[in-house]
């Protein structure tokens, strides 16, 4: 009777939530929460059935304050519970290295995608579990996003930097729009060989609307199904988030297929641009995978590249406004090395140690995400006397990791000087044996390090040099 009435009135989020709560409570009667006899890492005491949902809610309202307080109270690792799901928050660099790199055989997987993510992004590396799919993606990305390939697309970054510099001179208050256009155009040029001259173009407006909603809803804990996974067992007609995900996926694919088809026509005519998409299409022909997988490969590059670059550029502008002495030092170095008659080039980079150190400090001081992408344990193990259950979500807290006092002195201060003499490129720094010498943690850990590391820092450097 309940299902009949529910169907007759149409599936809404509120109705689905109510039904899910009822099913969850009934199911919970025969399920048990964290086994009390097992020793877990310290953390706030979970409530019956709910786990730490109240603590999570409080934390999410004020992350810059609550996350450091959590680390101070509970230490380098903190066990929390989303209902009956264990979540290990990681606050120290040493614990992150030990758990996510040295124990990568047990912790390199990703949390199971909820049904929304499965439908909206069915084939995309950041959400792929450990196994054949992950290895396939990483092999493809290693080939198409290598150092050599990244050097070939620098011309797009140079051009867009000049365009953006002119835009900043005309309307400096529109810096958010200028940085977003710069990052979007750079990554679309690198992937499809197609510039984005303005974000107000209908295609870009459509894509931005789609991305905004997707990125908002794929965040862990955003949807009711993250808290009440039993809702996913309902018939699809009672899950309105699935219908929404299918609609967003179709809209996203339509935009990318338009660019992909244009690139294929250019390849057939022998006038293809230098871009990652050409190499990806070549891989598709060699290995015979379908367009859905090809779009998943290319979409991940675009989403990661555009969002992260724009975020770091905007952080750079704000931090320079708050640190005029640092800005003056960088400007003096540029004036001394480059002079007033030309713009900096890539060849000037070795002679700009303070500017390079500033970029490293920018990545450390202002991480792209408060929490890095979560890992998942594929088996139970013991760490420092604490049990880490199978299917534990391991969540590195980037804000705390980049302010780890064992690695960074006066970590709350913006001090490029701390990286003077550190000449390693970002992708080499991330992979060096001594994890304490890493410049920042934005590219992840262990087997899940970002395969696009050689590419993503260069647009930011190009922009800063031109600024």
Candidate from 206-210, 277-281, 403-407 with smallest mean pLDDT: 403-407
Phi, psi of 174 (to 5 degrees): -90, 35
- Give the per-residue pLDDT at 227: 77
d(CA 452, CA 434): 21
80 has which bridge partners?
87
- Stronger pLDDT, 326 or 131, i.e. the higher one: 326
At residue 73's C-alpha, the angle toward residues 72 and 77, to 5°, is 80
Instruction: Let me know if residue 20 belongs to a domain.
Output: no
pLDDT at 29 over 80: no
pLDDT at 461 over 70: yes
Instruction: Let me know if residue 3 belongs to a domain.
Output: no
- Stronger pLDDT, 31 or 197, i.e. the higher one: 197
pLDDT at 303 over 90: no
- Give the per-residue pLDDT at 457: 65
Q: Which two tokens stand for residue 127?
A: 């959400």
What total of structural domains would you count in the chain?
Answer: 1
At residue 164's C-alpha, the angle toward residues 190 and 279, to 5°, is 5
- Give strand ranges (E) for 58-102: 77-82, 85-90
Q: 302: helix, coil or strand?
A: helix
Instruction: Let me know if residue 96 belongs to a domain.
Output: yes
pLDDT at 192 over 50: yes
Helix (H) or strand (E) holding 386: strand 386-388
* pTM (2 d.p.): 0.84
- Give the per-residue pLDDT at 466: 66
pLDDT at 54 over 70: yes
pLDDT at 4 over 80: no
345 has which bridge partners?
none
Q: Give the pLDDT band (50/70/90) at residue 36.
A: low
Instruction: Let me know if residue 279 belongs to a domain.
Output: yes
Instruction: Let me know if residue 330 belongs to a domain.
Output: yes
Q: Give the pLDDT band (50/70/90) at residue 243.
A: very high
Instruction: Let me know if residue 24 belongs to a domain.
Output: no
Q: Give the pLDDT band (50/70/90) at residue 451.
A: confident
Percent residues over pLDDT 70 in the chain: 91
Instruction: Let me know if residue 458 belongs to a domain.
Output: yes
Whether 80 contacts 43, CB under 8 Å: yes
Interstrand relation of 381-383 and 85-90 (parallel, antiparallel or unpaired): unpaired
- Give strand ranges (E) for 63-145: 77-82, 85-90
What is the domain range of residue 399? 52-465
d(CA 221, CA 65): 19
Q: Which two tokens stand for residue 263?
A: 């690139």
CATH number of residue 322's parent domain: 1.10.630.10
d(CA 227, CA 206): 30
- Give the per-residue pLDDT at 258: 95
d(CA 436, CA 415): 18
Give the pLDDT confidence of 318-338 residue by residue, as tens digits: 999 999 999 999 999 999 998
Q: Which whole number is the average pLDDT over 64-72?
A: 89
d(CA 197, CA 200): 9
**How many of the other CB atoms lie within 10 Å of CB of 102?**
13
d(CA 410, CA 417): 12
Residues contacting 358, CB < 8 A, separation 6+ = 326, 330, 416, 464
Q: Which whole number is the average pLDDT over 164-181?
A: 91
d(CA 430, CA 445): 8
Give the pLDDT confidence of 395-416 residue by residue, as tens digits: 999 989 988 888 888 889 999 9
If we measure between CA atoms, which residue out of 145, 108, 419, 417 comes closest to residue 276? Answer: 145
- Give the per-residue pLDDT at 10: 46
Q: 179: helix, coil or strand?
A: helix
Q: Give the pLDDT band (50/70/90) at residue 14.
A: low
d(CA 2, CA 359): 58
d(CA 186, CA 161): 9
Q: Which whole number is the average pLDDT over 43-63?
A: 88
382 has which bridge partners?
387
pLDDT at 60 over 50: yes
- Stronger pLDDT, 74 or 35, i.e. the higher one: 74
Q: Which whole number is the average pLDDT over 182-198?
A: 94
Helix (H) or strand (E) holding 136: helix 132-144
**How many of the other CB atoms lie within 10 Å of CB of 279?**
16
450 belongs to an annotated ligand binding site: yes
- Give the per-residue pLDDT at 9: 44
Instruction: Let me know if residue 39 belongs to a domain.
Output: no
The DSSP secondary structure of 236-255, one letter per residue, reads GGG-HHHHHHHHHHHHHHHH
- Give the per-residue pLDDT at 403: 87
The pLDDT mean for the chain works out to: 87
271 to 86, 266, 267: CA distances (angstroms): 53, 5, 6
- Give the per-residue pLDDT at 314: 92
């Amino acid at each position: 009777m309940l299902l009949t009435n529910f169907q007759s009135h149409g599936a809404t989020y509120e109705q689905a939530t109510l039904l899910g709560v009822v099913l969850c409570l009934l199911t919970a009667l025969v399920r048990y929460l964290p086994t009390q006899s097992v020793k877990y890492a310290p953390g706030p005491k979970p409530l019956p059935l709910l786990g730490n949902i109240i603590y999570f809610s409080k934390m999410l309202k004020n992350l810059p304050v609550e996350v450091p307080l959590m680390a101070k109270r509970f230490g380098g690792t903190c066990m929390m519970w989303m209902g009956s799901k264990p979540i290990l928050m990681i606050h120290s660099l040493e614990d992150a290295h030990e758990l996510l790199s040295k124990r990568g055989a047990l912790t390199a997987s990703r949390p199971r995608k909820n049904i929304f993510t499965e439908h909206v992004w069915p084939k995309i590396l950041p959400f792929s579990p450990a196994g054949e799919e992950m290895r396939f993606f990483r092999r493809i990305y290693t080939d198409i996003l290598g150092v050599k390939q990244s050097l070939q697309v620098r011309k797009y970054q140079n051009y867009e930097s000049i365009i953006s510099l002119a835009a900043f001179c005309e309307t400096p208050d529109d810096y958010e729009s200028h940085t977003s256009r710069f990052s979007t155009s750079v990554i679309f040029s690198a992937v499809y060989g197609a510039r984005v001259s303005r974000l107000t173009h209908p295609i870009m407006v459509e894509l931005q609307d789609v991305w905004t909603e997707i990125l908002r809803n794929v965040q862990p804990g955003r949807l009711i199904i993250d808290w009440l996974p039993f809702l996913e067992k309902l018939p699809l007609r009672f899950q309105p988030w699935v219908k929404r995900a299918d609609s967003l996926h179709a809209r996203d694919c339509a935009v990318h297929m338009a660019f992909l088809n244009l690139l294929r026509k250019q390849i057939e005519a022998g006038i293809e641009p230098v871009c990652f998409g050409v190499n990806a299409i070549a891989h598709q022909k060699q290995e015979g995978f379908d367009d859905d997988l090809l779009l998943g490969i290319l979409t991940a590059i675009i989403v990661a590249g555009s969002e992260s670059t724009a975020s770091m550029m905007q952080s750079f502008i704000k931090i320079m406004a708050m640190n005029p002495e640092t800005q003056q030092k960088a400007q003096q170095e540029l004036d001394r090395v480059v002079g007033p008659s030309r713009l900096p080039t890539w060849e000037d980079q070795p002679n700009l140690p303070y500017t390079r150190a500033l970029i490293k400090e920018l990545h450390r001081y202002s991480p792209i995400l408060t929490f890095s992408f979560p890992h998942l344990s594929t088996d139970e193990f013991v760490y420092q006397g604490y049990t880490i259950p199978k299917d534990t979500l391991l969540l590195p807290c980037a804000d705390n990791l980049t302010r780890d006092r064992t690695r960074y002195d006066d970590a709350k201060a913006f001090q490029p000087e701390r990286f003077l003499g550190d000449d390693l490129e970002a992708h080499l720094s991330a992979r060096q044996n001594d994890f304490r010498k890493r410049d920042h943690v934005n590219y992840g850990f262990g087997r899940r390090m970002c395969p696009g590391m050689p590419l993503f820092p260069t647009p930011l450097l190009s922009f800063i040099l031109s600024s």
